[in-house]
Structure 1
């Protein structure tokens, strides 16, 4: 087993509005009406992780004509056990061109999606395994 530290930094911009900063310098705005909510970012992370794994593998055969991943779930507010997401579903809508290369990409799509879900996607693996989250106040 190997480990590699990952991090993001969240900065308050104004009441209810924040910027998430990655070590590479990328930023994402969150919290406002026209920004991602934290739950939407979680869904995007789950879908994006599996999409990247799948796209990298299948596009070696041919470029997709269309490639869309939709992630849905139910936000549950429970007085006893707290807020959470349930019934998370990742749906792939991918089209490859006709021909031998498209056929090869189509044939490997189910296998690459399953491999990402079962082994490669750090985000969905972490959610499914139920990793504890520790909070610290400096």
Structure 2
């Protein structure tokens, strides 16, 4: 795999149920099921869905006009059944307003097409989920 296409995140354990993820640039994110102030892994997945499309939408519409307000929200149903745990009925809602006038009108006009393009082609997170990519697990033994 070429160096420009490879992505990685490492994970270190702080204590039981609390972890720190570190990306290739050295940025850290603390999270876990026992971190009362942090995100759970499921919440991080939901944030990744929202964040990925938000970036696409903000950049493309921002070329026409900066948004006056911008919020993205992901809702989902947590499912526990005999096949295992998962999320279902995942809905991304993007709520953005632009100023009155020509530039704002241009941003509003391109917004639906930009959201659709992000969902259908650009957002790596949503595309990966919808394509149902497999996750290979490797255990390193001493």
Please indicate the TM-score interval, normalised by the length of the shorter structure. Answer: over 0.9
How many Å separate the matches in 1 of 2:99 and 2:41?
36
How many Å separate the matches in 2 of 1:46 and 1:105?
22
Match of 2:51 in 1: 48
Which residue of 108, 111, 128 maps to 1:109?
Answer: 111
Question: For 1:87-122, what per-residue CA distance to the aligned partner results, in whole angstroms no more than 9, with x for missing partners?
Answer: 000001101000000000000000000000000000
Within 5 Å, give how 1:21-100 maps onto structure 2.
21-31=22-32, 32-78=35-81, 80-100=82-102
Q: How many residues end up aligned between the 2 structures?
A: 136
User: CA shift at 1:25, angstroms?
Assistant: 1.1
Question: For 1:24-43, what per-residue CA distance to the aligned partner results, in whole angstroms no more than 9, with x for missing partners?
Answer: 11111101111010000000
Match of 1:130 in 2: 132
How many Å separate the matches in 2 of 1:87 and 1:6?
28
Q: Could you tell me the TM-score, scaled by structure 2's length?
A: 0.93
Three-state SS of the structure 2 residue aligned to 1:115 is: helix
How many Å separate the matches in 2 of 1:114 and 1:10?
33
How many Å separate the matches in 2 of 1:108 and 1:35?
35
**Structure 1 moving runs of 4+ over 6 Å:** none
Q: Could you tell me the TM-score, scaled by structure 1's length?
A: 0.96
RMSD: 1.1
Q: Gaps (5+ residues) in structure 1? A: none
